[in-house]
Amino acid sequence: MGRNSLAQTRRSQIIQAFYRCVISQGLAKTSMRMIAKEAGVQPSALHHYFKDRDEMIEEMVAYYTDLFFHGFLEEMAGYDDEKERLDRAAEFLFSPAMINEEATSFFYDCCAEAKGNPRVRQSLAKLFRRFRQTILEYFSDLAIRNGLNREDIQDIATLIIAVHEGIELQWHMSPEDVSLERSLLLAKRIVKSFLLGQGRDELRRAV
């Protein structure tokens, strides 16, 4: 293993340790010393691999964003039928892989940090851009065949993310009040109504 590969492996180990600390203690309470202990390294080693805590947060967001998108694309690769692709994509967004106590706590801790931290805010902005871009690429052929242009698909991607994040937040705050199963059924109806052309006129009147 080369020096660069070894350094990248160690960086990944530290980022994973950072994530575990955030899950157990919260981002605000996670110190560099705590991360080092969890990673099994000296605190000075953290500064060898990362400039500062903000860089570690940026890398942590990017690392887990990559895991999500790779998981999504792998899961969707086996579906060719257009309507089945719609169903399976919606099911993935509302699955335990996407909405669970651990991942949601981490995400909203990062959102809280972003309020006073421009670098973290930019990291989350990149996450949402990538989210929209993935939806655009995944559904573009289907949407275009049903009379939607790229701008329409961009708006639909924004809507899908808004529905997902809104339901995730409500579920996180009071899971006894929010049914992910019923939310999934509603999300499927909303997405199909636009991507299959049924909501095209309503969308264009709205903008």
Going by C-alpha positions, the residue among 104, 84, 91, 98 that lies closest to residue 184 is 91
Q: Are 106 and 25 in contact (CB under 8 A)?
A: no
Q: Where are the domains of the chain?
A: 1-50, 53-206
* Entry pTM: 0.79
Class of domain 1-50 (CATH, top level)? mainly alpha
C-alpha distances (whole Å) from 159 to each of 72, 143, 152 are: 18, 15, 11
Residue 131 Cα distances to 52, 64, 79, 115, 203, angstroms: 27, 13, 20, 20, 21
Is the pLDDT reported for residue 161 higher than 60?
yes
Q: Are the folds of 1-50 and 53-206 the same? A: no
Domain 53-206 belongs in CATH node 1.10.357.10: yes
Residue 72 CB neighbours (<10 A): 19
For residue range 52-100, list pLDDT tens digits in order: 889 999 999 988 888 888 888 888 888 777 778 888 888 888 888 888 8
Structure tokens, 2 = 């080369």
Average pLDDT score over the chain: 84
